[in-house]
């Protein structure tokens, strides 16, 4: 299976989100092999977008969640609020939130626990900075992030996880690591998760690549068996870009089914 996640960030309002959701839905229409496709609109658009994607193959994701169940948390959104509007996936620990809003591994851990508790799928972002990379610390930084955020997390038999490897220096910059570099980091992530969650079927933990994914490079990432999909930011709100990225996934799935 291949997964495509569209992270619409703070780029679109309610009306644009509905239009984008309709356009995204059309990309899957009539296709025999479709990727697991998750769209993550801003919170205010979730209810309206839900009406568009209801009873379709498109999944609805949120861009954040509170680690608390309920209470005096001005401006926060709880797991229950998200499930109420049909959310099945939640992006957690995006580097923009880690850097600009001081999110810590402890907060991210709490959000993962809450998401799983409410039977949603966490999309956990990890990745190194340009400086970490220069100093050859990529794998070490990622191991630390994973160990901290999954500390004492237990997966129940139906739980699923998505990890997005997103090098900070590749987000929104047009730069990407090579496919070989991504594969190397993905195997490292897989090893750590195998240790953290032994006896968990491989399919229940997907590892995606994110950072400047666009129509020109999507196929190269998607065709690799070690790369379970892509997390797309900027290109997910541009329908011509998104069309080619989804087509690349369909092409890979069709080739696999032969």
Which residues in 232-258 are b (16+ Cβ under 10 Å) and which e?
bbbbbbeeebbebbbebbbebbeeeee
Is 166 one of the annotated active-site residues of the chain?
Answer: yes
CB 243 within 8 A of CB 236: no
Which residue in the shown chain puts its C-beta closest to ligand PGA? 233
Q: Name which position in 16, 68, 226, 234 contacts ligand PGA (CB under 6 A).
A: 234
CA distance 237 to 226: 26
Asked if 232 interacts with ligand PGA (CB under 6 A), we say yes
Nearer to ligand PGA, 67 or 167 (CB): 167
CA distance 189 to 227: 11
Q: How far is the CB of 96 from ligand PGA (least distance, A)?
A: 7
Q: Which two tokens stand for residue 164?
A: 């997005």
135 phi/psi in degrees, rounded to 5 = -85, 5
Nearer to ligand PGA, 5 or 46 (CB): 5
**CA-based nearest residue to 10, from 119, 101, 110, 139:** 101
Tell me how many degrees the CA angle 89-210-240 measures, rounded to the nearest 5: 90
Asked if 122 interacts with ligand PGA (CB under 6 A), we say no
Q: Which residues pair with 165 in a beta bridge?
A: 126, 209
Report how many residues bind ligand PGA under the rule CB under 6 A.
13
CA distance 194 to 63: 26
**CA-based nearest residue to 34, from 250, 251, 228:** 250
Nearer to ligand PGA, 182 or 232 (CB): 232
Q: How far is the CB of 213 from ligand PGA (least distance, A)?
A: 5
Q: Name which position in 62, 213, 246, 249 contacts ligand PGA (CB under 6 A).
A: 213
* Residue numbers 125-154 binding ligand PGA by CB under 6 A: none
* Residue numbers 157-196 binding ligand PGA by CB under 6 A: 166, 171-172
Is 84 one of the annotated active-site residues of the chain?
Answer: no
Encoded one letter per residue, x for contact with ligand PGA by CB under 6 A and - for no contact, window 67-86 reads --------------------
Nearer to ligand PGA, 197 or 219 (CB): 219
Asked if 212 interacts with ligand PGA (CB under 6 A), we say yes
CA distances 32 to 14, 130, 189, 253, Å, are: 30, 40, 31, 9
Q: How far is the CB of 214 from ligand PGA (least distance, A)?
A: 8
Tell me the catalytic residues: 94, 166
Interface residues with ligand PGA (CB under 6 A) are: 7, 166, 171-172, 210-213, 231-235
């Amino acid at each position: 299976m291949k997964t495509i996640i569209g992270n619409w960030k703070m780029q679109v309002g309610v009306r644009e989100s509905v239009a984008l959701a309709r356009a995204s839905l059309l990309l899957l229409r009539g296709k025999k092999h479709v990727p697991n496709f998750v769209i993550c609109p801003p919170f205010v658009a979730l209810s309206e977008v839900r009406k568009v994607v209801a009873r379709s193959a498109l999944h609805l994701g949120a861009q954040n969640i509170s680690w608390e169940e309920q209470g005096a948390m001005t401006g926060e959104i709880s797991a229950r609020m998200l499930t109420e509007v049909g959310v099945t996936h939640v992006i957690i620990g995006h580097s923009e939130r880690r850097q600009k809003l001081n999110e810590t591994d402890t907060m991210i851990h709490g959000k993962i626990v809450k998401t799983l508790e409410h039977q949603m799928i966490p999309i956990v972002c990890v990745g190194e900075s340009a400086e970490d990379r220069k100093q050859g610390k990529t794998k070490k930084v990622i191991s630390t992030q994973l160990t901290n955020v999954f500390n004492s997390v237990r997966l129940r038999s139906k739980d699923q996880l998505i990890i997005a490897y997103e090098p900070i220096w590749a987000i929104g910059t047009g730069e990407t690591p090579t496919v070989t570099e991504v594969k190397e980091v993905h195997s490292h992530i897989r090893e750590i998760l195998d240790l953290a969650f032994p006896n968990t079927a491989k399919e229940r933990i997907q590892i995606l690549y994110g950072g400047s994914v666009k129509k020109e490079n999507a196929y190269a990432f998607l065709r690799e068996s070690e790369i379970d999909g892509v997390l797309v930011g900027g290109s997910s709100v541009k329908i011509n870009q998104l069309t080619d990225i989804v087509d690349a996934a369909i092409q890979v799935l069709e080739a696999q089914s032969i």
